[in-house]
Amino acid sequence: MSENKLINSPIRFVKGVGEKRAALFNKIGIFDIEDLVHYFPREYEDRRHIFSISALAEGMTCCIKAPVLTMAAERRFKYNLSVFSLAIDDGTGSINVFWFSSPKYKRKFERGTEYIFYGKVVSRNGWLQFELIEAEVANKNAKTGKILPVYPLTKGINQTNLRSMMASVMDSIDRFEDVLPPSVLAKNNLMDYDKALRCIHFPDDMDDFEAARRRFVFEELFILQLSLNYMKDIRADADGIIFPDISCGREFVDSLPYELTSAQKRAIREICDDFQSGKPMNRLVQGDVGSGKTVVAACAMHIAVRNGYQAALMAPTEILAAQHYNTFQKFFGDKFKIALLTGSVSGKKKLLDGIANGEYDIVIGTHAIIEDNVEFKNLGFCVTDEQHRFGVSQRSKLSSKAEFCHVLVMSATPIPRTLALILYGDLDITIIDSKPAGRQDIDTFCVNDSVRGRAYGFVRKQLEEGRQAYVVCPLVEESESLDAVASVQYAEKLQKDVFPEYTVGLLHGKMKPKEKDEVMTRFKNGEINLLVSTTVIEVGVDVPNANIMVIENAERFGLSQLHQLRGRVGRGNFKSYCVLITNSQNDATKQRMQVMTSTNDGFKISQKDLELRGCGEFFGTRQHGLPELKVANLFTDIDILKDAQTQCEELLQENPHLYGPDCERLKERITHMFDKFDGADIFN
Ligand code: ADP
Ligand code: MG
C-alpha cells in the first residue's frame, strides 16, 4: 500500500487497537493513522542517564540501576492501599525504593537481579528515598537510554499502550510524505516531515525535539495563513454591492443624543469607503468593552437600508439579541421595519415570509438567522456581534445568505494589532481605541471570603445612591443546570438575608427566553436593584446605571472572561467598581487577579492572557473563532509566525494556484482546513 493510503486508514487497523479502543480514540478526535501520528506528546521523560545513588538529590526525577538487596516489604494502611518498599545498592550507596499500590497487585522483584528504577527522589524524615514510577529488568531491551514521550491520556488508554502503538506505526510506515514543498523546507531551514514526526515522538536529544517542534509550529501557522489568504482572495475577486448614497449616514449621526468619538467616526468612514469600493467588505472592528461598537454597526445598517438593501445582525445570546432589538428600535423609530429572529420567537412563519419578501428592512437575531429556512429578499450587509463567540464557519454562513454581501464582524476581545493582522489574514481591521468621553476607570479589588460582609456593605452603599449591581454567581461546574440551581439558592439568600429592602432579580441560562427578557427589561428599567446572574451576561449586556459587580469564584474564570464580565459596568458616567472574590492561593490565580486589579485596558489584558495561558484555549473557538492551534504558542512563537506569514506571501506570488505535485499534499490540508471553516471550494 502506498504511504498516502496507509496513513489515511482507520485507527482500528493499527496493531493493538480493536473496536473498543478505536471508539475511545474517536472520542478524542483520532480517526485515522494521520490523526494518531499528529497526537503529540505533552512532555517527555528523559531516561538517557543512569545516576549513581551517591549522586541523588531531593527533587530529581531520574533512573538508577542496581540489584535488589532486600525483598519488597508491605505495609497496609487502608483496605485497598499499601505501601511497598525494598532496598537497593549500586555500589556507590544504598537507598530505599517505595511505591503505593493495591495489596492485590504485587510487582515481582527478584533478589540479586539488577533492575533499572525510574522515579523521583524525595525526602522523608530527613532521609532520601526513591518513589518508584516504573521499573524494568536491566537487559538489552530496556527503555532506559531513551527520551520517552508522555501523551495526554484519555480513559481506557494508558501511557504504555500509546507509546507502543505509536512506535509500531512509526515502524510500519517507511516514509511519511511531506506536506510542505521542498522549496519551503529549504528556504526556512525546516526539518522534513518524516524525520520531524519521528523526532517529536521519540527524540534522540532535545535539540532534535526543538527542530521538530519548530517545523510543526511553522507548518501549522503556514497552513492557517494560506487558508485565510484564500478566503480573502475569493472575496477580493468578487464584485461587491455599491451603495451610492453614503451621505445618509450623516442624518443618522445627527439624530444621536451624543457626539461620536473620533475612533467611532473613523470606523464609520472606513466602512463607507468599503461600501463604495466595488469589493465586498470583510472587516473586523476590534474595540474594548464599552467603546461603543453598536452605534457604528447601526449607522452602517442605516446606510445599507437607505440604499435599498436589507441588513442583518447576529448576536451570540438571546439576551443580547433582544437588547439590540430594543436599541435599534430607539435608533430607527418607525423609519425601518425590524424583525427579531431567535429560536424562541412566536409567529415565525410570518416573520420568515416578511424577511423573504422584503417587508423587513433589518433582521436582528441569534444563530436562528443562519438556519436554512431563512431567506432574505436582498441582503446587502450583515454584522456579527461578539464574533469570538462564533466560529469562522458560522460567520461565513451568515454572509452566504447573500453572495458577497458586505460583512462586518465586531469583537470585544481585542488582540494586539500585529497579531491580529496576521491571524485575521482574511479581514481588514478597524480598531476603536478610545471610549466615549466621561468614562472613568473601573476600580477593581480582589478579596477573600472573610470580607464578604464588607463587600455587601459596599454594594449597599451604591444601591443607596440609586445605582444597580450585578452579582455573578458561584460557578458549580461546567454544567449549566447545576449552576442554575446554585444561582437560584444564592439569589434567595441574598434577597432574604442580605438585601431585604431591595429587589433582587435572577438570570440564568436555563430560564425561558421570555423570562430572561422580562428580567432584563426590569433591570434596565431600574425595577430590579441587584441582579444575580450566571455568566449569561458575559457579553454585550448594556445597563449604564449599573456601576458595581461582584464576581464569586473569580479563580474559575480566565482573564479575557473576567474582563468581559467586568465590562458590564463602567458603561455610563458613574464611578464603577468590581469586586473579585476568591479564596484561591494558587499562583496562576494570583497573577490573573493582579492583572485585573491593575489595568482596565482590554488589549493589555488579552496580551497577558495569551502569555499566561499559551494559545490552545485562548485561540479556541470560544475566544476568537479561529481553529484551535495544537502546537504553536502565539506568545512565544511569534517569530515563527512572522516567518510563516512571509513564506505564505512568497509562495502565493510564485504559484498562486499551488500547481504541481510538490503542492498536492498542501492543497489537501488547506481543503481540510476549509471543511472546518465550512467554506467554499477553493481550487476549482
Ligand atoms: P460595546 O462596544 O461594548 O458593544 P456599546 O455599543 O454597547 O459598547 O456602547 C456602550 C454604551 O456607550 C452604550 O450605552 C452606548 O449608548 C454608549 N455610547 C456609545 N457611543 C457613545 C458616545 N460617543 N458617547 C456617549 N455614549 C456612547
Ligand atoms: Mg457590544
- Following DSSP, what letter does each residue of 459-499 receive, concatenated? HHHHHHTT-EEEEEPPP-SS-HHHHHHHHHHHHHHIIIII-
pLDDT tens track for 146-166: 888 989 888 888 888 888 889
What's the topology of domain 49-145? OB fold (Dihydrolipoamide Acetyltransferase, E2P) (2.40.50)
Strands 127-137 and 114-124: antiparallel
Beta strands 530-533 and 546-551 are unpaired
What's the pLDDT score for residue 300?
Answer: 97
Give the phi and the psi of residue 375 in degrees, each rounded to 5. Answer: -125, 140
Q: What is the pTM of this model?
A: 0.72
Q: Mapping DSSP to helix (H, G, I), strand (E, B) and coil, where does residue 157 land?
A: strand
- Written as one letter, the residue type at 664 is E
Domain ranges of the chain: 49-145, 248-277+292-411, 443-599
Q: Left if phi > 0, otherwise alpha if psi is -120 to 50, otherwise beta: which for 145?
A: left
Among 26-40, 325-339, 354-368, 522-536, name the one with the lowest average pLDDT.
26-40
The protein residue whose alpha carbon is closest to atom 24 in ligand 1 is 436
Q: What gap in Å lies between CA 508 and CA 481, rounded to an integer?
A: 9
Q: pLDDT band for 4, please (50, 70, 90 cuts).
A: low
The Cα–Cα gap between 120 and 136 comes to 15
Residue 2 has pLDDT above 50, yes or no: no
Query: Closest-lying ligand to the alpha carbon of 319?
Result: 2
Confidence (pLDDT) at 549: 97
Domain 49-145 and domain 443-599 have a common topology: no
Find out whether 373 and 401 touch, Cβ atoms under 8 Å: no
- Ligand 2 centre to CA of 357 (Å) is 29
The number of the ligand 1 atom at minimal distance from the alpha carbon of 542 is 7
- The pairing of strands 577-581 and 443-447 is parallel
Round the average pLDDT of the chain to a whole number and report it: 86
Ligand having the closest approach to the CA of 414: 1
pLDDT of residue 599: 93
The ligand placed nearest to the CA atom of residue 320 is 2
pLDDT one-digit tens code per residue, 20-56: 888 888 888 888 898 899 999 988 888 888 999 999 9
- Only one residue has cell 424562541, namely 344
Provide mean pLDDT across the span 278-290. 89
User: How far, in Å, from the CA of 270 to the mean position of ligand 2?
Assistant: 19
Q: What pLDDT, in 10s, does the model give residues 391-436?
A: 655 666 666 777 778 999 898 777 766 667 666 767 888 989 888 9
Torsional sign, CA 290, 520, 333, 307: positive
**DSSP summary character for residue 659:** -
Report the CATH superfamily, name and number, of domain 248-277+292-411. Answer: P-loop containing nucleotide triphosphate hydrolases (3.40.50.300)
Query: If you take atom 19 of ligand 1, which residue's CA is the nearest one?
Result: 292
Q: How far is the CA of 232 from the centre of ligand 2 (A)?
A: 25
CA of 170 to the centre of ligand 2 (A): 50
- Protein residue with its CA nearest to atom 26 in ligand 1: 436
CA of 159 to the centre of ligand 1 (A): 53
pLDDT at 619: 46
8 Cα distance to chain centroid: 28
Q: Per residue in 473-523, pLDDT tens?
A: 876 655 666 766 788 999 999 999 999 999 999 998 888 888 988 999 999
What's the gap in Å between 470 CA and the centre of ligand 1?
A: 19
Q: Are strands 81-89 and 94-101 parallel, antiparallel or unpaired?
A: antiparallel
pLDDT, average across residues 325-343 = 93
Backbone angles phi, psi at 607, to 5 degrees: -60, -45
Confirm if 73 and 85 have CB atoms less than 8 A apart. yes
Three-state SS annotation for 360-376? CCEEEECHHHHCCCCCC
Report how far ligand 1's centroid is from the alpha carbon of 34 (Å): 49
Q: Looking at the CA of 286, which ligand is closest?
A: 1
CB atoms within 5 A of ion ligand 2 belong to 540
Q: Which of 217-231, 349-363, 417-431, 453-467 has the lowest mean pLDDT?
A: 417-431
For residue 389, what pLDDT is reported? 64
Return the amino acid letter for 139: N
**Averaged over 121-136, what is the pLDDT?**
90
Is the pLDDT assigned to residue 349 strictly greater than 80?
A: yes
CA 70 / ligand 2 centre spacing (Å): 70
- Cα atoms in the 13 Å half-sphere on the side-chain side of 601: 10
Residue nearest to atom 4 of ligand 1 (CA): 293
Q: What is the pLDDT of residue 674?
A: 66
The SS3 of residue 637 is coil
Average pLDDT value for residue range 521-535: 93
Among 61, 62, 117, 108, smallest CA distance to 89 is for: 117
Q: CB within 6 Å of ligand 1 — which residues?
A: 258, 260-261, 264, 287, 289-295, 412, 436, 542, 544, 571
Work out the percent of the chain whose per-residue pLDDT is above 90.
46
Q: How large is the average pLDDT for residues 531-546?
A: 86
Classify burial at 349, counting beta carbons within 10 Å of its beta carbon; exposed 0-12, middle 13-18, buried 19 or more: exposed
Looking at residue 324, its pLDDT comes to 94
List alpha helices for 77-205, DSSP H: 159-172, 182-188, 193-201
Position 388 confidence tier, pLDDT thresholds 50, 70, 90: low
Give the mutation target among 285, 291, 327, 330 for probing the ligand 1 site: most ligand atoms within 8 A of CB: 291
Under DSSP, the state recorded for 625 is S
| Closest ligand, as measured to the CA of 287 | 1
In this predicted structure, the answer to whether residue 623 has a pLDDT above a threshold of 50 is no
- CATH fold label, 443-599: Rossmann fold (3.40.50)
Query: Model confidence at 187, in pLDDT bands (50, 70, 90)?
Result: very high
pLDDT at 616: 44
**pLDDT for the residue 393:** 59
Provide DSSP, 304-367. Answer: HHHTT-EEEEE-SSHHHHHHHHHHHHHHHTTSS-EEEE-TT-S-HHHHHHHHHTT--SEEEESG
pLDDT of residue 184: 95
Do 209 and 659 meet the contact criterion of CB atoms below 8 Å apart?
no
